[in-house]
């Protein structure tokens, strides 16, 4: 089957593993690659609108199946410079301030984005998220949609096992492909493979396992 | 016939500073029909849809939805909760020029709301992506039609509907050309931004569409009339 995948870092197994973390095992996408011809258009940190624009830009007729990882609503697409890489066109309320230090010339824009999230963001983005999902279904009705809210729980289970809080993770880079351990990537890959003919997947976090390798293997 | 009207200043009956020189097209419809008008000046499509349409859409025989422009923003206003003189339209941001006026002219704004307005100003100026706004706007219109495919949609602005031929703002511009005024840069005492006569014409066109179960109103400019220059007194310099 020829499959296209769209989404954020829960489906992006390329961006951070090109030149580093070569010792981290395969992703769930790698599992599917054993059986299918995959084009992975996902981008870590991207918003749903970015993924939707990518989805609209490809010839969907070339694909037997689309897998769409739908990210959270509190992300925005904003092109500050036309020649910026795609990862610098997607923002959430923490990444905007984190990057203000790296890109001092763009500080005003990044502060504006951050302030928007803090003071202006409201329930309308959840509604707009639903509208985009409906639009995706209209264009490719057999798309398998995976909701961020479901898959995030797997990642959280692992972090809880290591007894870490969110703020403690900021000192590290997450070397887990798709924010999951190697074992859970395998379980998730099998789950998606079993669900490949469907349009939704039921994710039961109890079917995923505690990490076998230690925290330092995955958080560098 | 029980009718609901939703929209912005092109369908509300509130003119600048509450001026009441004549009846709006929406008020004229009440001569023959039972009309509830939920429109609010400056409101966004999201606001109208979420606050009213989603709650009332199956309570009326006919829905008239005056579709505003993409990109309008609505946000919670602290001032609303703390000040008895609160006006609903504080929470609507139709254009970036509105913000500057609000910050300087509305004395009862709380400090938090002034801060929010300034953030919103920067957001609209530097960040807001019009392509995204237009896309979401199209999706909201589809969502409205999913619930009420028979809704009578009236485009207020050139970017309101993808399949529109004309819009209400073109009537305003035609009138403003007679007055030698730049559209939008005045206090408008004309209800629905058009003359009394053009409000009557629009009321007749809307009624015609309702009775023939059309989902669009014939807004061709040739249906409307140029005002006399003296009617320009209703456009107040700011």
pLDDT digits (tens, 9 = 90+) for A207-220: 999 999 999 999 99
Query: What is the C-alpha separation between A84 and A89, in angstroms, rounded?
Result: 7
pLDDT digits (tens, 9 = 90+) for B33-70: 999 999 999 999 999 999 899 999 999 999 999 999 99
Q: Cβ contact (<8 Å) for A120 and B115?
A: no
- Average pLDDT (B158-165) is 94
Which residues in chain A have Cβ-Cβ distances shorter than 8 Å to B126?
108-109, 112
Which residues in chain A have Cβ-Cβ distances shorter than 8 Å to B129?
76-79
- Average pLDDT (A102-122) is 80
Confidence of residue A84 (pLDDT cuts 50, 70, 90): low
Residue-wise over B88-100: b if at least 16 C-beta within 10 A, else e? Answer: ebbbbbbebebbe
- Average pLDDT (A182-199) is 96
Query: What is the C-alpha separation between B148 and A95, in angstroms, rounded?
Result: 40
Give the strand pairing for A75-77 and A144-147: unpaired
A56 touches chain B (CB under 8 A): no
Q: In the prediction, which pLDDT does B29 show?
A: 98
| SS3 at position A59 | coil
DSSP state of B223: G
Q: Indicate whether B117 pLDDT > 70.
A: yes
Chain B closest-CA separation from residue A154 CA (Å): 31
* Alpha helices in A44-123, H assignment, sequence order: 48-57, 95-100, 107-115
A195 touches chain B (CB under 8 A): no
**Listed range (A43-47, A145-149, B74-78, B92-96) with the worst mean pLDDT:** B74-78
Which residues in chain A have Cβ-Cβ distances shorter than 8 Å to B75?
120, 122
Give the strand pairing for B187-188 and B235-236: antiparallel
DSSP per-residue codes, B48-73: HIIIIIHHHTTS-SEEEEEE--TT-E
B219 touches chain A (CB under 8 A): no
Query: What is the C-alpha separation between A194 and A188, in angstroms, rounded?
Result: 10
Query: What is the C-alpha separation between A165 and A159, in angstroms, rounded?
Result: 7
A135 touches chain B (CB under 8 A): yes
Cα angle A182-A184-A188, degrees, rounded to a multiple of 5:
120
Mutate to test the interface with B, among A119, A130, A136 (most CBs of B within 10 A): A119
A115 touches chain B (CB under 8 A): yes
Q: Are A98 and A55 in contact (CB under 8 A)?
A: no
Q: Are B215 and B179 in contact (CB under 8 A)?
A: no
Which chain B residue's Cα is nearest to A49? B132
Q: In the prediction, which pLDDT does A73 show?
A: 87
């Amino acid at each position: 089957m020829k499959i296209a995948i769209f989404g954020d870092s829960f489906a992006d197994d390329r961006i951070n593993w090109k030149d580093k973390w070569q010792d981290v095992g395969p992703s769930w996408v790698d599992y599917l690659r054993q059986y299918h011809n995959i084009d992975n258009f996902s981008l870590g940190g991207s918003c749903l609108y970015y993924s939707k624009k990518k989805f609209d830009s490809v010839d969907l007729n070339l694909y037997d199946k689309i897998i769409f990882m739908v990210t959270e609503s509190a992300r925005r697409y904003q092109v500050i410079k036309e020649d910026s890489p795609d990862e610098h066109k997607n923002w959430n309320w923490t990444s905007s301030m984190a990057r203000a230090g790296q890109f001092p010339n763009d500080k005003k824009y990044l502060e504006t984005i951050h302030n928007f999230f803090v003071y202006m963001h409201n329930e309308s983005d959840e509604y707009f998220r639903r509208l985009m999902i409906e639009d995706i279904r209209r264009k490719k009705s057999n798309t398998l949609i995976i909701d961020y809210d479901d898959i995030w729980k797997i990642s959280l289970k692992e972090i809880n096992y290591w007894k870490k809080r969110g703020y403690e993770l900021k000192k590290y880079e997450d070397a887990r492909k798709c924010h999951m351990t190697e074992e859970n990537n395998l379980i998730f890959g099998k789950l998606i493979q079993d669900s490949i003919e469907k349009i939704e997947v039921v994710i039961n976090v109890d079917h995923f396992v505690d990490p076998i390798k230690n925290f330092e293997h995955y958080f560098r | 016939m029980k009718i609901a009207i939703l929209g912005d200043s092109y369908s509300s009956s509130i003119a600048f500073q509450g001026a009441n020189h004549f009846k709006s097209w929406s008020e004229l419809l009440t001569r023959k029909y039972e009309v509830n008008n939920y429109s609010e000046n400056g409101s966004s499509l999201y606001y109208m849809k979420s606050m009213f349409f989603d709650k009332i859409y199956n309570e009326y025989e006919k829905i008239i939805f005056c579709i505003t422009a993409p990109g309008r923003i609505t946000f919670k206003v602290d001032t609303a909760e703390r000040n008895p003189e609160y006006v609903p339209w504080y929470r609507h941001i139709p254009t970036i020029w509105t913000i500057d006026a609000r910050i300087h002219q509305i004395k009862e704004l709380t400090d938090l709301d002034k801060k929010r307005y300034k953030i919103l100003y920067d957001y609209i100026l530097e960040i807001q992506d019009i392509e995204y706004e237009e896309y979401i706007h199209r999706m909201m219109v589809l969502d409205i039609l999913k619930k009420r495919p028979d809704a009578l949609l009236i485009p207020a602005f050139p970017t309101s509907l993808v399949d529109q031929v004309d819009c209400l703002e073109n009537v305003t511009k035609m009138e403003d050309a007679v007055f030698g005024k730049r559209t939008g840069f005045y206090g408008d005492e004309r209800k629905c931004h058009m003359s009394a006569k053009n409000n009557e014409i629009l009321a007749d066109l809307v009624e015609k569409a309702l009775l023939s179960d059309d989902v669009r109103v014939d807004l061709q400019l040739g249906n409307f009339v140029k005002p006399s220059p003296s009617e320009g007194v209703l456009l107040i310099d700011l």
